[in-house]
Structure 1
Amino acid sequence: MTKSLKNLWGRFLFQDRGILPTRRLLVVFLILTFGLLFATLWEISWIVVFATNIFVLLLSLLDVTLSPRQTELIITRSLPEEMERNITYTVQVEIQNNSKYAFTYRLVDGIPQSFDQPFPLGGVALTGTKTHIAYETFAPVRGKYHINKLYFRYTSRLGLWEKQTTASLEDSVKVIPDLTETKQYLENAQQFLLYEGLKIKKQQSGVGEFAKIRSYVVGDDPRKINWLQTAKLQEVMTNEYEPEHGKYITILIDCGRLMGAELSNGNRLEKALEAALTVMTAALQKGDYVAVLAFSKDIKAYVPPAKGMSHFQTIVRAIYNLEVEANESNYAAVLDYLQTVQKKRSLLLLFSDVRTFLYEESTLLYLKRLRQKHLFLMIGVEDETLLATTKQEPDTVQKAMEKSVAQQQMLVKKREKIKWEKQGLQLVEASEEKLATVAVSHYIDRINRGLL
């Protein structure tokens, strides 16, 4: 297709500028054509036919003058700077009509193709008014997107010709991970404090910082009763302690090939990011230092440890556009790099594929050295297909073989996990819905027990 044909085709696809005939004008010419063809039965000359068509065409062009000039229209757009993945947001478009003509319009915003597309949008803009248009969209893919065009078509009252214009509106939007679970933690942290079905309340006696004095309730440790305040208030009062703050948490995010495995809502990397951000929120809210390291074959992003909720935005800006790579993850390289950047004792929380990690024998040597100084925990997403296969009814020979192989794989994985856990390296798997809950629970469990 030549460049001129591409430009012409682009005008019919809501691009660039131009004047286009509407369906109403085509209907008028279709009726006129059939009428003139019928009139030729009475021997009307072809000159009259062509002259009539040209006259009607020129007369229709007067309709163009009854619509606003492009300079009389001011179009603006308002959209959020950040959007969470798969969360619906509202985009506002304003059309200011400074002309003396009302018109009907259609528009297509130049948002990326991966976004939800509710176009074209239509309506009527009155004379000398501002027309507000709102539409909803969501983005299923993280990243930074530039939106610089809005395609606009409008007609006059007669609606015979349609003017087309392209508004240059420079905007950019960042699509970050879904923070729904992070917000849920901030609203109700207790629902995340579940570890093997029990609410985490206990901690080692004498461990932690003094928090406050409160009334004694059934179940409190009698050794923590504050007898001085009890005597003053004539009511049994007890001291309440909380885990020490200022611990170091290092979150490792695997971006290797197997993290691209699709789940019911996104892939493993998406769920790992959402769970990691929830753990970061819990740690930063409690005053701990949080560092983040994303890797695959090489180091993709590293955020040094810092504390405070303002550090959360620093982390989001660094990892919001992480993508799965086609390479296998190099665990040895990332653990070697970690020893050079993380000097203080830290909880190493790795989000990766447990099954692949178990067979990295060389990684075990690095982790044994790290274990002498750091506390290690790995969390991965369960293989639901493998679990479903182990539970299926073996009513056919093929299903019996599939179940046998799946059970064998589960036994091998269990045996390897035991081998790693004997070295003090714990590996945990959870369903995609409970990944964030399990991650936060294990983090708080280790803080409560004073393991750091």
Structure 2
Amino acid sequence: MTKSLKSLWARFLFQDKGILPTKRLLFVYVILTAALAIAAIGGVSWWYVLTINIVVFLVSLADLFFSPKKSQLKFNRVMPEEMERGLSYVVTIKVDNPSAYTVSYRFIDSLPQSFVHPFPVRGTIAKDSSVKIDYDTTAADRGKYEVNKLYFRYRSLFGLWEKQTTVELPQTVKVIPDLTETRQYLENAQKFLLYEGLKIRKQLSGVGEFAKIRSYVVGDDPRKINWRQTAKLREVMTNEYEPEHGKFITILIDCGRMMGAELKKGNRLEKAIEAAMTVVAAALQKGDYVSVIAFSKEIKVFVPAAKGMAHLQTILQAIYHVQVDAAESNYAAVFQYLEMVQKKRSLLLLFSDVRTFLYEESALVYLKRLRSRHLFFLIGVEDQTLVKRSKAAPTDIQAAMVKSIAQQQLLFKKREKNKWERQGLQMIEAPEEKLAVTAVSHYIEMMNQNLL
């Protein structure tokens, strides 16, 4: 294909500048051609037919003078610099039309392929006016994207010819994890946990830092009654304690091959990152120090420990773009690295695939060393397909075999988990929709029990 033909083809595909005939003009020519063909059969001269076609074509070109020049239209795009994965956002295109002509338009924006494309967007712009055109889009994959060109077509009210212009509007947008659950926790921690059928466990009696003195209510531990304040106020008062602040929490996020398994919404890594961000928010809100390590066959991201809610953005900007690798995870390497960078006792919260982790015998050697200094906890997404097949009715031989194999896999996993837990290494699996709340609940329980 020659360069000119490529340019013409790109023009028809909304990818170049130029002038194109509209369907209305083509319809006029179809009617005219049919009428002239009948006339030609009746004996009208072919020169006459040709002349009529040329005259109609030249008259149609006059339509171009009743639409604005390309240089007259001004464009601007307003879109968020950050978008959360899976959530809908509004993008606004501002168009200034200072000309004396009303135009009908349609346009396509150069969004990345992973975004929802509601194009072409159509409408009308009155003469000597400015309009704001909104459209909704949703990003399916995390990462950093460039949004550059806007392809805009417009025509006059006669609508015989259509002008097309390509506008350079370079912008960068970051697609970050869905932070809906993180916001829900920050708004109301107890409501967030109760919504999923869990509640914040009570801490051990008398353990933690003194918080305040309050009125005694039914169910409080009588041993925590403050008799001095009770005598002074002539009302039963009790001491309230809260977990000690300033603990160290290390979040480990597995980005290996098995974390790419697809779930109902996204994959395992997406759910792990969203749950990890919720735990980070909970820990920072309580005054703990949080560090994050993302890894696969090597360390991808390391964020040193810090406290304060401002650290949440530091972590988010560091891990929002991490993707699943095609390689197996190297647990031994990350635990070895952890020994070097985390000297203080901390809670190691690993988001990974439990089944893959159980096959890593070498990781057990490093974890036994880490256990003397750190508290380890592994959480993964439950394999709903395996659970469903293990509970299916054995209606025929094949179904019975599938059920038997699924139950065998579950028994193996249970046996191996018991072996690791006897070594003091806790593991748990949760449904994908409850991964965040389960992780936060166990974090709070460990803090309240003063296990660190």
TM-score, L = length of structure 2 = 0.97
Letter in 1 for 2:46: W
How many residues are matched?
A: 452
CA deviation string 1:255-294 (max 9, x = no partner) = 0000111111111111111110110010011011110000
Specify the alignment match of 2:438 in structure 1.
438
Give me the whole-angstrom Cα distance separating, in 2, the residues matched to 1:225 and 1:318. Answer: 47
Q: Aligned runs of 1:258-269 on 2, under 5 Å?
A: 258-269=258-269
Kept in 2, the 8 Å contact 1:195–1:441? The answer is no
Aligned to 1:37: 37
| Pairing 1:96–2:102 present | no
1:370 is the counterpart of 2:363: no
SS in 1 for 2:291: strand
Q: 1:283 is matched with which residue?
A: 283
Equivalent residues of 2:201, 2:445 under 8 A apart: no
Alpha-carbon distance in structure 2 between the residues aligned to 1:141 and 1:202: 39
The question of whether the paired residues in 2 share the 8 Å contact of 1:155 and 1:163 is answered with yes
**2:206–2:224: 8 Å Cα contact kept in structure 1?**
no
Q: How big is the shift at 1:402?
A: 1.7
> What is the distance in 1 between the residues matched to 2:402 and 2:24?
64
SS at match of 1:265: coil
What is aligned with 1:79?
Answer: 79
SS in 2 for 1:280: helix
Cross-structure match for 1:144: 144
Give the structure 1 partner of residue 256 of structure 2: 256
Moved over 4 A (4+): 192-198
Matches within 5 A, 1:47-446: 47-193=47-193, 199-446=199-446
Contact 2:82 2:176 in 1 (8 A): yes
| Contact in 2 for aligned 1:194/1:437 (Cα 8 Å) | no
Distance 1:197 1:434 in 2: 10
What do the CA deviations read for 1:171-200 (whole angstroms, capped 9, x no partner)?
111111111111111122114546996633
Matches of 2:300 and 2:222, distance apart in 1: 51
Q: Kindly indicate whether the alpha-carbon contact (under 8 Å) linking 1:195 and 1:438 is maintained by their aligned counterparts in 2.
A: no
**Residues 254, 295 of structure 1: 8 Å contact kept:** yes
What are the Cα deviations for residues 228-252 of structure 1, in whole angstroms up to 9, with x where unaligned? 2222322111111110111100000
Name the CA distance, whole Å, in 2 between partners of 1:204 and 1:189.
20
Partner secondary structure for residue 405 of structure 1? helix
Partner of 1:20: 20
Distance of 2:86 and 2:34 partners within structure 1:
52
Give the partner amino acid of 1:358. L
Matches of 1:210 and 1:179, distance apart in 2: 32
Find the residue that maps to 1:321 and give its secondary structure.
Answer: coil
Residue type of the partner of 1:347?
Answer: L
* Fraction of identical pairs, as percent: 67
* Unmatched 5+ stretches in structure 2: none
Deviation at residue 41 of structure 1 after TM alignment: 3.3
> 2:6 is paired with a residue of what secondary structure?
helix
Question: Is contact 1:192-1:440 (8 Å) kept?
Answer: no
Which amino acid is 2:99 matched to?
S
- Rounded Cα–Cα distance in structure 2 between residues aligned with 1:2 and 1:369: 68
| Cα deviation code 1:308-364 (max 9, x no counterpart) | 111111111111111111100000001101111111111000000101111111110
Distance in 1 between the 2:12 and 2:202 partners? 68
Distance (Å, rounded) in 2 between the aligned partners of 1:207 and 1:352: 32
Aligned counterparts of 1:78 and 1:95: Cα–Cα separation in 2: 11
* Amino acid aligned to 2:400: A
- Rate the CA distance shift 1:192–1:446 in 2: closer, same or farther, 3 A: farther
- Whether the 8 Å CA contact 1:394–1:403 is kept in 2: the answer is yes
Q: CA deviation at 1:26?
A: 1.0
Contact 2:139/2:175, CA 8 A, preserved across alignment: yes
Q: Is the Cα contact below 8 Å between 2:106 and 2:154 reproduced in 1?
A: yes
Structure 1 residues without counterparts, runs of 5 or longer: none
AA paired with 1:26?
A: L
* Secondary structure in 1 matching 2:71: helix
Whole-Å separation in 1 of the counterparts to 2:332 and 2:204: 35
What's the CA shift for 1:447?
0.3
- The change in CA–CA distance for 1:384 and 1:227 in structure 2 (over 3 A counts) is same
CA contact (8 A) 1:271 1:432 kept: yes
Counterpart Cα distance in 2 of 1:377 and 1:115: 36
Deviation of 1:42 after TM superposition, in Å, equals 4.0
What CA distance in whole angstroms lies between the structure 2 residues aligned with 1:196 and 1:188? Answer: 13
- What is the SS of the residue equivalent to 1:146? strand
How far is the alpha carbon of 1:30 from its aligned partner? 1.5
Aligned to 1:2: 2
